[in-house]
Chain A
Amino acid sequence: MKTFKLENEPKIETGFKTPDDYFENFSVKMIEQLPAGEPKIIYIFQKRKNIILMVAAVLVIALMIPNLNYTTASSQALDRIALENYINYQSNVNQYDLMRVLETKDITNMNTSIVLEDETIEDVLSANSNLENLILE
């Protein structure tokens, strides 16, 4: 049996062949196949993110409007005229109740020096049709 020694033999080629002009055509084929620039990926959610945020903001504002009205109304000071009207028409407080509650000191504090001219007093008295009743009381 003849002993085969690879290094003693002439170089053994693979024996593989390629079609004619394969490499020339391959270059052209490859260049045509190359992706023409990687497209920028835009995610659907990202694209609509601004719209979603805008809708969310509008909803939040819409839901907050009743709350804002309530907060504004409650934070305002009581309207003095509305309070007087309420006391006049909605409460059972009358002048006798006030007389009972007010002490001499309170009445003194309420006294203010009002400088009224005679003409002004006359105008007020003449304009007040209920003057007789007031005198009687």
Chain B
Amino acid sequence: MQEEQEFIKRLLNPKTQNQAFQRLISDYQRPLYNHVRNIVLNHDDTDDVLQNTFIKIFRHLKNFNGDSKIFSWMYRIATNEALTFLKQKSKLSGISSETLQNKTLDNLEADVFFDGNEIQLKLQKAIALLPEKQQLIFKMKYFEELKYEEISEILGTSVGGLKASYHIAVKKIETYVSTN
């Protein structure tokens, strides 16, 4: 915690800002990439969203008040960027978010940056049938292995609510995979 406070000070100090931000990118680019990729599925889109996320983080560093951990603050920005990106993309394509997600999943098999097997593909299709919030919770818990407390801080949902949502999501996925 003390170390994080020191790091935040370095991030806010114009003299040490760039160096500290380089470390921030280096430490968080992989987890944030995985988080965004799990939402938007496509590598190129993930690259765009991740760049926007880091630029936004840099621009809003001065507004970071330290009420939450920098980790959860960055995850919140990344989540919002990814969801906004999907909404804009579906709007531009003139299709619903669900249709867009199914279309992306159909393209996944031909994607050079996806080497999933049959069960991995089936799991993605099962997740796509969940409501948006349940999808997020499942991906963050199952794929990204975040703790409920961390997810709670990022999404602003109670730990109890998260556990219930995850449990429901797992049941739906198990039913889908068993019957398909």
Contact partner of B179 (CB less than 8 A), chosen from A1, A6, A15, A30, is: A1
User: Is the pair B25, A30 in contact by a Cβ cutoff of 8 Å?
Assistant: yes
Chain A 92-128 against B: per-residue CB contact (8 Å), 1 yes, 0 no?
Answer: 0000000000000000000000000000000000000
Q: Determine whether B22 belongs to the interface, using a CB cutoff of 8 Å to chain A.
A: yes
Contact partner of A33 (CB less than 8 A), chosen from B51, B114, B120, is: B51
Q: Inside 8 A of A23's CB, which chain B residues have their CB?
A: 29-30, 33
Chain B 124-138 against A: per-residue CB contact (8 Å), 1 yes, 0 no?
Answer: 100000000000000
Q: Determine whether A47 belongs to the interface, using a CB cutoff of 8 Å to chain B.
A: no
One of B76-84, B156-164, B169-177 contacting the partner:
B169-177
Chain B, residue nearest A37 (CB): B14
- In this complex, the interface size class of chain B, counting residues with CB under 8 Å from chain A, is 35 or more
Contact partner of B120 (CB less than 8 A), chosen from A12, A26, A27, A38, is: A12
How many of chain A's residues have a CB under 8 angstroms from any CB in B? 27
Q: Determine whether B50 belongs to the interface, using a CB cutoff of 8 Å to chain A.
A: yes
Interface of B is mostly: helix
Q: Inside 8 A of B41's CB, which chain A residues have their CB?
A: 16
Q: Determine whether A17 belongs to the interface, using a CB cutoff of 8 Å to chain B.
A: yes
User: From residue B172, how far is it (CB to closest CB) to chain A in Å?
Assistant: 11
Give the complex CA separation of A76 and B18 in angstroms: 72
Q: Inside 8 A of B21's CB, which chain A residues have their CB?
A: 31, 34
Chain B 1-36 against A: per-residue CB contact (8 Å), 1 yes, 0 no?
Answer: 000000000000010001001100110011001100
Q: Inside 8 A of B119's CB, which chain A residues have their CB?
A: 9, 12
Task: Return 13 A-B CB contacts under 8 Å, by A number.
Answer: A1-B179, A2-B178, A6-B173, A7-B170, A9-B119, A16-B41, A16-B114, A23-B29, A26-B50, A27-B22, A30-B29, A31-B18, A35-B55
